[in-house]
Structure 1
Amino acid sequence: MNLLARLFSALTLLALLAAAAVLIWPRLQAPPDPQPPVDLQGPVDFILVEKSARRMTVFRKGAALKTYRIALGFAPVGDKVRQGDGRTPEGRFRIDRRNAASAYHLSLGLDYPRPEDRARAQAGGYDPGGDIFIHGQPNALPASTALRHDWTAGCIAVTNAEIAELFAAVAIGTEVEVRP
């Protein structure tokens, strides 16, 4: 009788664990990409970065073409103020340089700091920072690796495949808006 009670208890516990796994497993899986993969065809004329959503959407003539998941600076809340604060700047910028030999897999530079950022920093007696880019992963990592947490010094990071796609579609002068 004691053996039968133990067997019944073990089977009940196993059934409960299986039921819990069925309920929990879908929540443990990675969320799907914001949209199915789409290759960009032709140029992009506007980039919208939404920091709080960790989302970047590219547009042409007002139509959204593709959305990317992004990583930001290691202290992502708030606007960039000074060198080393780990924040990604907020506001309107333009792509002002392209770097195929970046320390990160390809990069598109933003025209930060703007004159108002420089004036604020000069009045406060500190360095506003600079070298803010949309870029891929560190070149030291295997090409298929993607760091998904906020790890940059203030830049906007995507996967290597995504930055290659963007690098081909984004020209110097493209407008970028970074929202909180």
Structure 2
Amino acid sequence: MALSRLLILCSLLLTLLTPQALASDLLARADTRLPFPHSSDIDQLPSITKVLVQKGERSLQLLSGEQVIRQYRISLGDNPLGHKLYEGDSRTPEGEYSLDWRNAGSSFYKSIHISYPSAKDREMAENWGLNPGGSIMIHGLPNGTDDDFAFAFLGLDWTDGCIAVSNQEIDEIWQLVSDGTPIEILP
């Protein structure tokens, strides 16, 4: 008897939540930027002097000195706990690096390279007989992702060790952050 009531309830919910209504509702709530006043004129913002990532909080902040200019919710690698040890471990590195180059034609909607691995990272991986990897980026969604399904990536850890944001957010980060900007990635 309880199973039949559960089936009836599920049927009612499914009729109320059509795929279009569900997708529309999720997209309406999919702005992953954390609440900060946003100027429509990006050129009037102060220069970004540092990027700070807090993996445990799933947060990426753009700083000017000590002031937080922008803050975003992020997705990490499938295995987010701990420092990246080797290529293929699906971890996002921890430590101090720099954003050293960018790729407008990557497999994802724009990407900015993080200078991982450092000499210490290489040494640690080599001591284990492993390759440290090196294609760690801040990027948008995979190319070809339909805007109607972008919500499926937000709030999940799905990368191979990179830091992912929405396409709109990588556009903003792309404009605000210069090559050579330091990035600190904390646990």
With the shorter chain as reference, the TM-score category is 0.7 to 0.9
Equivalent pairs counted in the alignment come to 152
Structure 2 residue aligned with 1:161: 168
Q: Per-residue displacement from partner, 1:106-129 (whole Å, max 9, x unpaired)? A: 111000011111111112111111
Distance 1:95 1:101 in 2: 17
Distance 2:60 2:51 in 1: 7
Q: What secondary structure does 1:44 align onto?
A: coil
Structure 2, unaligned runs of 5 or more:
1-25
Q: What secondary structure does 2:179 align onto?
A: strand
Distance 1:108 1:161 in 2: 14
Q: Is the 8 A contact 1:135 1:155 kept in 2?
A: yes
TM-score (norm 1): 0.79
Report which of the two has the higher share of strand: 1
**Residue of 88, 91, 95 corresponding to 1:91:** 95
Kindly state the Cα deviation for residue 143 of structure 1 after the two structures are TM-superposed: 4.0
Structure 1 residue aligned with 2:22: none
Structure 1, unaligned runs of 5 or more:
1-28
Q: Is the 8 A contact 1:74 1:87 kept in 2?
A: yes
Kindly state the Cα deviation for residue 34 of structure 1 after the two structures are TM-superposed: 2.3
Letter in 2 for 1:76: P
Distance 1:91 1:178 in 2: 5
Q: Per-residue displacement from partner, 1:101-156 (whole Å, max 9, x unpaired)? A: 11111111000011111111112111111100000000120246141200000000
- The farther-off stretch of 137-146 and 116-125 is 137-146
Q: Is the 8 A contact 1:46 1:58 kept in 2?
A: yes
**Residue of 54, 59, 76 corresponding to 2:58:** 54
Q: Is the 8 A contact 2:36 2:71 kept in 1?
A: no
Kindly state the Cα deviation for residue 179 of structure 1 after the two structures are TM-superposed: 0.4
